[in-house]
Amino acid sequence: MHPADLSHYLGQLRDYYRAESIIPSTTQLGALWGVEARSWAHRIAVRLKEEGFLEDAPGNRLRPGPRFFERPLAGRVRAGLPEAAADAPADVVTIDSYLIDKPSDTVVFKVKGDSMIDAAIQDGDFVVIERRTTARIGEIVLAMVDDEFTLKYLAQDAAGYYLEAANAAYGPIRPARALEIYGVYIGLFRKAGRPRA
């Protein structure tokens, strides 16, 4: 089987998994891939397991393997002047392994509001937070201030710790009772908007 063929089957399987959140049975895989012979579908599945894209799960099922969520990393793209396209083969990146160091301590929150807009964090973004109870001054933190969550820069002055927005329309937040660090901001993701007319 040619590697390009394997990539084609893997792409179809990833699309299916995105829609259904399950890896289908071998019989269903054959239908998905347009392969009539069950043995051929089994052979493709075995190749995907050998490559680390699938792995065995309880009940004679399959589940995504460690490479299933890899995405091509074709290189860097300029946001300034155009440059010639590179012909070098693409590397790969798994978004979780790139962004998340401690999966068990990582949570995602949806942003509401524009107080962090100058830090490029917009209303509707999903921010990735690593659970920690301490942070350095200047880090963006998810903090609980007087029993309410907010995402802000951690700051300190002679009066103690406080929070600063990344939007001049918002003043500093000083706790009346308590300021607790819930976690530290490590990244975000958003779906791109509509193209400009």
Active-site amino acid positions: 115, 152
Q: Please report, for residues 44, 92, 139, 150, the alpha-carbon distance to residue 22 in angstroms, rounded to integers and kept in the order given.
A: 17, 23, 38, 35
Grouping H, G, I as helix, E, B as strand and the rest as coil, residue 52 is coil
Of 27, 22, 56, whose CA–CA distance to 40 is shortest? 27
Q: Please report, for residues 80, 101, 140, 192, 193, the alpha-carbon distance to residue 197 in angstroms, rounded to integers and kept in the order given.
A: 20, 39, 34, 15, 12
Of 60, 20, 64, 65, whose CA–CA distance to 42 is shortest? 60
Q: State the distance between the two ends of the chain, measured CA to CA, in whole angstroms.
A: 44
Of 89, 61, 96, 53, whose CA–CA distance to 74 is shortest? 89
Q: What CA–CA distance (Å, rounded) separates 64 from 49?
A: 9
Written as six digits, the tokens of 140 are 């963006």
Residue 119 dihedral angles phi and psi, to the nearest 5°: -100, 15
